[in-house]
Amino acid sequence: MLNIAMKTGSNFFEWTHRRADGTDFPATVLLTRVNLKGKTFIQATVRDITEQKRAEDTIKNYALNLESEVKRRTTELEMEKRKVEGMSEMKDEFIRNVTHELKTPLSVVLANLTLLKDYSPVGREKDWTKLLDMMERNASRLNHSVNQILSFSRLNEITPKRERTYLNEVVDSVYQEYLPLAVAKGISLELDIEPVIVMGDREMLAIAVGNLASNAVKFTEKGMVRIILRGFRKSATITVEDTGIGMRPNEAKRAFEQFYKANPSAPGTGVGLTVTKEIVEKHGGEIGIESKPGKGSTVTIIIPRGI
């Protein structure tokens, strides 16, 4: 270092210096060549840069933390972006599903109405009744789809009523509603209930159970659908079992996601189970599903009795 100063006239560098008390500290050293009375000397200027180093470390740590925070926020924003894109795709799929779900039965009803205009029932009572039955089924399907969409759109605004509700009456009314559809499909709809009273919203609970019954009947081509109600000291359970097409594990995990349909071409709006889950949770309850492809599904609702 002295040689450099002698050759070039100066040398500036950092090093660790030692105080008189033996402690070390970071310093800058400036070595300067000085000519005095024909002799050459090296003048050393030492400056303590402890505070400067401390400030540099602070800035360095801040930069590292900032970089880490930027990476974290970038990752979060990317996830949110993908989530929004996914929701947008699901929304588009939902709109397509709803359009199809409403248009199909409406087309059937309109077509049958056109036939009936020019159709004389005299001597063709069976055909007349068949047309009317077809119209009734499709009108019911249309009504169910509209009710599902309305329920889904209003869920966040509605707080369940807390009133004495005979859950067995709710479940029985759902059974009576879907029995004709099950009979028409040639499957058995079974009911196994007992008297149970809960504090809840009768209308909302009917929607929740109705969605489960609708799905079970819809996706069961042979065999049976069974609705079971049991009351316990603090809770009530409603179980809907079917011998339908079932779902794979990855599909069952997503069954309650809004707009999700395991088979996009299958009938339905894709919000039924979402609505049911929201209603159950608004009542402080839980819902779960077990399913096997080709074997069927079992959906269980647990509702606190609250009485």
**E-strand spans in 130-247?**
163-166, 188-192, 197-200, 224-231, 235-242
241 forms beta bridges with 226, 298
In the chain, % of residues over pLDDT 70? 72
Quote the CA–CA distance of 34 and 42 in Å, as a whole number. Answer: 6
* Model confidence at 300: pLDDT above 90: yes
* Model confidence at 42: pLDDT above 80: yes
For 227, phi and psi rounded to 5 degrees? -110, 125
3-state secondary structure of 284: coil
Which residue has 């009375």 as its token pair?
37
17 forms beta bridges with 25
* Model confidence at 259: pLDDT above 80: no
CATH class of the domain at 160-304:
alpha beta
**β 163-166/197-200 pair status:** antiparallel
pLDDT value of position 227: 98
* Model confidence at 24: pLDDT above 70: yes
What tens digit of pLDDT does each residue of 108-166 get?
566 666 666 666 566 666 776 776 776 666 666 666 666 656 655 566 667 888 999 99
Q: What number is the average pLDDT over the span 75-98?
A: 64
Q: Whole-model pTM above 0.75?
A: no
pLDDT value of position 57: 84
Q: What number is the average pLDDT over the span 199-212?
A: 92
Q: What number is the average pLDDT over the span 251-274?
A: 73
What tens digit of pLDDT does each residue of 208-229 get?
999 899 899 989 999 999 999 9
Quote the CA–CA distance of 219 and 237 in Å, as a whole number. Answer: 22
pLDDT value of position 93: 61
Domains 2-48 and 160-304 share a fold: no
- Domains of the chain: which residue ranges? 2-48, 160-304
Cβ atoms of residues 127 and 116 within 8 Å? no
* Model confidence at 199: pLDDT above 70: yes
Q: What number is the average pLDDT over the span 9-14?
A: 89
In terms of average pLDDT, the best of 1-10, 90-99, 114-123 is 1-10
Quote the CA–CA distance of 132 and 46 in Å, as a whole number. Answer: 104
Q: What number is the average pLDDT over the span 69-79?
A: 76
pLDDT-derived band at 19, boundaries 50, 70, 90: confident
Between 242 and 134, the more confident residue is 242
- DSSP category for residue 294: T
The CATH topology of domain 2-48 is Beta-Lactamase (3.30.450)
**147 Cβ partners below 8 Å, 6+ apart?**
207
**137 Cβ partners below 8 Å, 6+ apart?**
105, 181, 184
